[in-house]
């Protein structure tokens, strides 16, 4: 209510010169609002840019973790295949040694 009274008083005082720019008391709140709005937009832009970067970095980290997990699984598979091949090779060597030993004795 008090703001409307102030506004009406300013209008009645300015009624003599309609072409002049708004008086200083009306300009200051607008200027302060513009400064606040611009600063607020900058802060919001920085926050959204930071959030976007964090999302990108977390996705990349997740992909790296998945790649490392796949490498570990592949390594385990290779190790199990290698162990199986070593066991088969040892068995064939043992069979050959037993046959050689039997041939020498018998």
Tell how far CA 47 is from the center of its chain: 13
Q: List the Cα angle 10/16/21 in 5-degree steps.
A: 65
The tokens describing 20, both together, are 């002049």
Q: Which domain holds residue 64?
A: 49-105
Higher pLDDT, 26 or 96: 96
How far is Cα 28 from Cα 20, in angstroms, rounded to an integer? 16
Report yes or no on 34 lying in a domain.
no
What are the pLDDT digits (tens) for 68-79? 777 777 777 777
Report yes or no on 2 lying in a domain.
no
For residue 20, the tally of other CB atoms under 10 A from its CB is 8
Per-residue confidence at 25, pLDDT binned at 50, 70, 90?
Answer: low
Report yes or no on 10 lying in a domain.
no
Q: Looking at the 3D structure of the chain, how many domains does it have?
A: 1
Tell how far CA 20 is from the center of its chain: 52
Report yes or no on 95 lying in a domain.
yes
């Amino acid at each position: 209510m008090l703001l409307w009274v102030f506004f009406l008083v300013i209008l009645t005082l300015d009624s003599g010169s309609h072409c002049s720019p708004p008086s200083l008391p009306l300009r200051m709140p607008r200027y302060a609002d513009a400064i606040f709005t611009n600063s607020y937009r900058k802060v919001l832009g920085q926050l959204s840019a930071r959030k976007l970067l964090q999302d990108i970095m977390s996705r990349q980290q997740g992909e790296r973790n998945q790649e490392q997990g796949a490498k570990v699984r592949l390594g385990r598979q290779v190790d199990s295949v290698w162990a199986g091949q070593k066991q088969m090779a040892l068995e064939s060597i043992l069979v050959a040694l037993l046959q050689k030993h039997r041939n020498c004795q018998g």
